[in-house]
Amino acid sequence: MRRSEGRWQRHKDLKAKLKKTALLLEKEYGVPQREKRADPLDILIQTILSQNTNDRNRDRAYEGLKSRFPRWEDVLKAKREAVISALRPGGLAAQKARRIQEILRWIKRLCRNSVHGSRASPRTDYDMLKINHLAVRPERVEGRMANYDTVSKKREKRLNLSFLKGMGSEEIKELIGGLKGVGPKTVHCLLLFGLGRDAFPVDTHILRIGKRIGFIPERMNAVKAHLWMVPLIPKEKSLSLHLNLIRFGRSICRAKRPRCEACFLAKECLYNSQ
């Protein structure tokens, strides 16, 4: 019983620490306003392109891709080498091109099946996408697509993830998170920026700051940190905390040579007290 009570008290302490951190960040940087919601598929592709690179290279790769292939249908139809060439500024171009085209092919199958009422073989989808741990079956989402909106022949030509709007966040995490190359950060970005849900992507800045301040355990990796952070985030503060922590990490709590002398979170910091 004492051990359980100890865990609960620690959980409460961490929630209080994170709430105080969020308020201090907002006092310094303000409350970020949610921009006009972006297209979920755009957000998914942008986040895949951000893997293992910085924002500048991600943006260069995305702009190169969209300038050469204005529609996602064009990316799907393009030869792999052409897509790789467009993505080269972002790094890991061959790997990302393959993953993007596989995901677009999967979306096309879902859209086509919902229009024509046909069902592809689940095994075929599994082999095509090389799912990490989950066979993503079209029949799991076809009903939701039909319930969300009437899919017309015209709409079939446009690849989109609009059917996700009719699904719960946990279902989306399971479905999209099962695709190869899509980890927790990518799914949480899709939820937060593409669907306007309460979600908290943990990037390198947030992982570093969390360990220094003490709301993420020192030995925890980014994958586990996503699940760890879910019950700790103050209500309706996921967007603000995410964006302000990244800003703080870039300007003050840097990976190398952090500006501890200028830190307004110094009293909360374990790193600064060492």
Taking the C-alpha atoms of residue 18 and residue 267, their distance in angstroms, rounded to an integer, is 13
Least confident of 33-42, 60-69, 108-117: 108-117
Taking the C-alpha atoms of residue 137 and residue 70, their distance in angstroms, rounded to an integer, is 28
**Per residue in 249-261, pLDDT tens?**
999 999 999 999 9
Quick check: 76 pLDDT over 50? yes
**Per residue in 178-188, pLDDT tens?**
998 899 999 99
Largest CA distance in the chain: 64
**Per residue in 102-135, pLDDT tens?**
999 999 987 776 544 444 433 344 344 443 333 3
| The predicted structure's pLDDT at residue 126 | 37
Q: What is the radius of gyration, based on Cα positions, of the chain?
A: 21
Quick check: 98 pLDDT over 60? yes
Domains of the chain, CATH where assigned: 2-34+199-273 (1.10.1670.10), 40-194 (1.10.340.30)
Quick check: 26 pLDDT over 90? yes
pTM for the model stands at 0.81
Compare 157 and 110 and report the one with higher pLDDT.
110
φ, ψ of residue 53 in degrees (nearest 5): -155, 175
Taking the C-alpha atoms of residue 214 and residue 17, their distance in angstroms, rounded to an integer, is 9
Local confidence band at 70 (pLDDT 50, 70, 90 cut-offs) = very high
